Amino acid sequence: MMAGQIGIIGGSGIYSLETIKIIKEHIVETPFGKPSDAVIEAKIEDTTCFFLARHARGHKILPHEVNYRANIYALKSLGVEYLVSVSAVGSLKEEHAPTKFVLPDQFIDWTKGFRERTFFGNGIVAHVSVANPINKQLQEMIAYCCEGLNLNYSKDGSYICIEGPQFSSRAESNIYRSFGADVIGMTNVPESYLAKEAGMAYSTIAMVTDYDCWKEEHCTVEEIMKVMVKNNQNAQLLIKNLIPYLDKNKFKFEKENIFAVMTPEDRLTSDHKEILKILQS
């Protein structure tokens, strides 16, 4: 598969894009186990892209059960270098109202340490900086398309990732607000960090479904479902416009993983070298 491909990881409710023509389903085996689902190769207009349902079609995998390493590795092995993540989040700030799309540029890892969070180890020592976990050029392209579609969005801010599957207590929610976090979710860590290790340009679209429980106003299930339907419609429209636009405006970017490996090459096994060949391609 040629490099420079575009990938989409869909979150809650974004399992199939109505605007795409499915070309092929790829069953990908990785050194890190099975991805959440088959990777769907598809076309939006004349642009090829690769779609993966983070929680599997049918929503069968909890956030902490997702095999994030296999998901990212599978997409990279198919040539994906530009990766757009779509996920549902709660709001930690008054200005991020339901139906707003937030494009965060920072992540706070508040998971419990149970998730496999690196491709390295087992004989490969490497350190990749995640000081800037998202790709700013890709984020700008998403913002440009949001602007063109007149979507309610904001750029930058922090996404705090909790373990789940339970939502926060009110005390926890207020602690996260004291950190200055903008939105709260359960999936973008270690996903974003692994994308960085894999040399991908990554940016996320965080779709606000409701205010987290710091805000004591009661929100009914019916209200949340209406918001999710609206968010899904807007996400479909955004992806439909973004993918062809990105394809016409692909850019070069620095892959920090190229110089991250500390282990001498003569100490690497053939399996190590195969993993690095994919990650550094």
Q: Which residues are catalytic?
A: 210, 212
Query: Which phi and psi angles does 37 have, rounded to 5°?
Result: -165, 180
> How would DSSP label each residue in 15-33?
SS-TT-EEEEEE---BTTB
- CA dist 191 and 10 (Å) reads 12
Q: Is 122 helix (H, G, I), strand (E, B) or coil?
A: coil
Structure tokens at 48: 């090829």
In eight-state DSSP terms, residue 196 is H
Q: Residue written as tokens 């409701």?
A: 210
- CA dist 188 and 76 (Å) reads 17
Rg, C-alpha atoms of the chain: 18
Q: Which of 110, 204, 193 is nearest to 153 (CA)?
A: 204
- CA dist 61 and 11 (Å) reads 11
Q: Which string of b and e fits 32-46 if b means at least 16 CB within 10 Å?
A: beebbbbbbbbebee
